[in-house]
Amino acid sequence: MEKIHFYHSPVGLLVLGEEDGFLTRVSFHKGINTPYIIESTPLLEKTEKQLKEYFKGERIAFDVPLRPMGTDFQKKVWKALQSIPYGSTASYGDIARQVGTEKAFRAVGMANNKNPLAIVIPCHRVIGSDGKLVGYGGGLENKVFLLSHETKYRK
């Protein structure tokens, strides 16, 4: 059963989840549809610490063990998202090409929307092909905040 911990971040209340020693969730609190236990663990505390460092501009990458739950295609997309450098962006089309499905940018968008590890797997760095900010599960205002934050602290 997933153990969860709540973190009050600059982008709102985040739910951090762990199962079997792997981070399984960093989500904006909108309700949890799976069984869980509220329990702080060393991994969840480490994740919160790293998120705090990220928000202070002291961390550009996370080093916690991840286990995002999804389809093989979603996992491929989420892996590609992790290759987008801190402070940079890529389009849905860029990610579709990277995962070998050039015309599947809509499917990439759906996988992006299902990302269970917001911020840690940086789906906020994906933009429309015209350079516009489109969609974000945590709200467009948080996407703007995260991208501006990364631009400010880019080294």
Residue 30: pLDDT band with limits 50, 70, 90: confident
Which residues does the annotation mark as catalytic?
Answer: 123
Residue 32 in this model has a pLDDT that exceeds 80 = no
Question: By the 8 A CB rule, do 86 and 152 touch?
Answer: no
Is 72-153 in CATH node 3.90.180.10? no
Question: By the 8 A CB rule, do 148 and 141 touch?
Answer: no
List the beta bridge partners of residue 55.
none
pLDDT in tens, 36-87: 899 999 999 999 999 999 999 999 999 999 999 999 999 999 999 999 999 9
H helices within the chain, ranges in order?
42-55, 72-81, 92-98, 105-113, 140-153
List the beta bridge partners of residue 5.
16
Residue 114's CB is within 10 A of a number of other CB atoms, namely 16
Residue 101: pLDDT band with limits 50, 70, 90: confident
More confident residue, 102 or 78: 78
Cα→Cα distances 99→40, 58, 89, 104, 111, Å: 35, 30, 16, 9, 12
Mean pLDDT on 25-38: 83
pLDDT in tens, 110-150: 999 999 999 999 999 999 888 888 888 888 999 999 999 99
Q: Kindly state the helix (H) or strand (E) to which residue 15 belongs, with its residue range.
A: strand 12-19
Residue 104: pLDDT band with limits 50, 70, 90: confident
What is residue 155's predicted lDDT score, i.e. its pLDDT?
Answer: 65
Where along the chain do the CATH 1.10.10.10 domains lie?
Answer: 72-153
